[in-house]
A and B are shown apart, each in its own frame.
Chain A
């Protein structure tokens, strides 16, 4: 079962909503938990054991860390001011031990299940020269492990930082870790964002149901009309790229970026819409990423919850660690107030992008993808003072319309190149495709219409383009902070229903499903 399949949005979700509605408020969390576990079991069956282990692990360690904090507070109350610092330090060291144990346990399980094969294969290729090898273990990976592991880590770290209190209710914590709408593709939530709301068992309201269903419909259009329709073309070109020229590489690169965005953001719309029906607001994961004017800006708008997770739990803790703080101080004295902090920031940034790359999958092209974005952001940071100087000297304003357009197009191009490596079958294929795009760029495939013979014909491309224009207009309104759903709500009943029925028929008529179509697999669920 996947979010964009009728089995989910026409059968599973409505049944859960109905049972939820007719259950007493205090017990509704149990319905959500059972539904979440059934959803998990439908995808990963007995691998649910790993989710149980992770939940119990963070539950126990969270309680231990909290107990130490309470003990510390008791001792501080009873001691003199001079002793307080020593007690705080001592207890912080105790807490840190349990935090490290908790984080290593969670990440360790993720590494063993997801990366054993990759690590083993690479070690063996290094050991080839000395004619030896290590055994490689391959494990079945439970669905959503990359997402719920990060949620578990943030839960423990937030208790350690005393931002939240440990949950004493195992069921509530289990629901936070497994909530079915977000289980497969995120968004990656923090405990304080969702746990209480999920447990509350809010009543269904007609407004939440309406807005939730509208959001689901919008997401389905993105996924089924655009992402699925482009699928045969993308599969074919990325599989047999040697047969085509650079022009086709460029087209496949743009089509894949479009597909990835429509698939991921469309699924997130379905996820957020599903959750809204239960009255639980999940954090937004996208904020019109293709209006970004720089790569940093792009990552503040694309997969937002992953970016903020890395920022809060890797970037700042690393940059503000004692050794890097010392480095920043030294840098500010010796290389100036801008490049000084950039030194430690860059070290932390490297770690963030390495983790970002490898988080996406156990292959070198994902690591390359991470390093590619690291280099782009690092270069932009290095050049920032010079670029500012350039704008100053030439009296060009960053806010001029055409300057903005150029910056947006430049960012979109750089993003597309990154996605080419992301999608390619391995790093070697990615490099070959990129090199073809540069050295063998011709319009031959367009002139002789080869591009229309790969499972996506002119009618398909036309439907995709029209739908993209609709999505672009909606995104533009959101960018200008025009609340579309609310403004449709204020229209007369006839207009409202015409719009929504129009979109339902649009999905039914132009959706790519049925015989002859292969829907794209949920891309982020694979991570």
Chain B
């Protein structure tokens, strides 16, 4: 989780990822940032994020994103 927060802070430093629950809905993360994020996550956690998983629900908080990563790792 710490690594994920570091990645997020690197991409968009102006957010408190411990508490924020509307990263996409409140436009803290735009589509380009999401692309960077996916690229970083895939490299760091050795998972592949399919297009179907790119929904606001999965990206709205660091917690949800972490759950997605864990789920993809298990499925792999």
User: Hey, which bits of chain A sit against chain B, CB under 8 A?
Assistant: 161-163, 296-297, 300, 311-312, 315-317, 319-320, 325, 328-329, 332, 337-338, 340-342, 344-345, 381
Contact = CB atoms under 8 A, between A and B. Distances in A.
Given A340-B39, A341-B32, A344-B35, 14 more contacts: A161-B52, A163-B52, A296-B30, A316-B54, A317-B51, A320-B51, A320-B54, A329-B39, A329-B43, A338-B36, A341-B35, A341-B36, A341-B39, A345-B32
B25 to A, nearest CB: 10
Contact of B10 (A163, A337, A345, A381): A337
5 closest A-B pairs by CB: A161-B52, A341-B36, A341-B35, A345-B35, A328-B39
Interface in B21-72: 27, 30-32, 35-36, 38-40, 42-43, 49-52, 54
Contacts of A311: 31
Contacts of A381: 32
Q: Which of A300, A317, A341 has the most chain B CB atoms closer than 10 A to its own CB?
A: A341
A163 B51 CA distance: 11
A161 B51 contact: yes
Nearest to B54: A316
A338 B50 CA distance: 22
Contacts of A342: 32
A329 B48 CA distance: 13
A278 B60 CA distance: 31
A342 B39 CA distance: 11
Nearest to A311: B31
A297 B27 CA distance: 8
Q: How large is the interface on B (under 10, 10 to 19, 20 to 34, 35 or more residues)?
A: 10 to 19
Given A161-B52, A162-B52, A319 B27 contact: no
A48 B39 CA distance: 45
8 contacts: A161-B50, A161-B52, A297-B27, A319-B35, A329-B39, A340-B39, A341-B32, A345-B31
Contacts of B30: 296
Contacts of A338: 36
A406 B21 CA distance: 29
Q: Which of A162, A316, A317, A338 has the most chain B CB atoms closer than 10 A to its own CB?
A: A316
A32 to B, nearest CB: 28
Nearest to A313: B51
Contacts of A325: 39, 42
A329 B36 CA distance: 10
A420 to B, nearest CB: 27
A315 B36 contact: no
B16 to A, nearest CB: 16
Contacts of B27: 297, 300
A325 B49 CA distance: 11
Nearest to A343: B35
Contact of B36 (A296, A297, A312, A337): A337
Contacts of A316: 31, 51, 54
Nearest to A324: B35
A472 to B, nearest CB: 22
Nearest to B56: A308
Contacts of A341: 32, 35-36, 39
A416 to B, nearest CB: 23
A164 to B, nearest CB: 11
Contacts of B32: 341-342, 345, 381
A345 B52 CA distance: 18
A315 B52 contact: no
Contacts of B38: 320
A33 B42 CA distance: 46
Nearest to A342: B32
Contacts of A162: 52
Nearest to A337: B36
Nearest to A317: B51
A174 B51 CA distance: 27
Contacts of B39: 325, 328-329, 332, 340-341
Nearest to A381: B32
A162 B40 CA distance: 26
A46 B49 CA distance: 45
Contacts of B54: 312, 316, 320
Contacts of B40: 337
B28 to A, nearest CB: 12
A345 B38 CA distance: 12
B8 to A, nearest CB: 13
Contacts of A163: 52
B56 to A, nearest CB: 10
A339 to B, nearest CB: 10
Nearest to A158: B52
Contacts of B31: 311, 315-316, 345
Nearest to A398: B14
A320 B36 contact: no
A219 to B, nearest CB: 25
B40 to A, nearest CB: 8
Nearest to B30: A296
Contacts of A312: 51, 54
Contacts of B35: 319-320, 328, 341, 344-345
Contacts of A337: 10, 36, 40
Contacts of A340: 36, 39
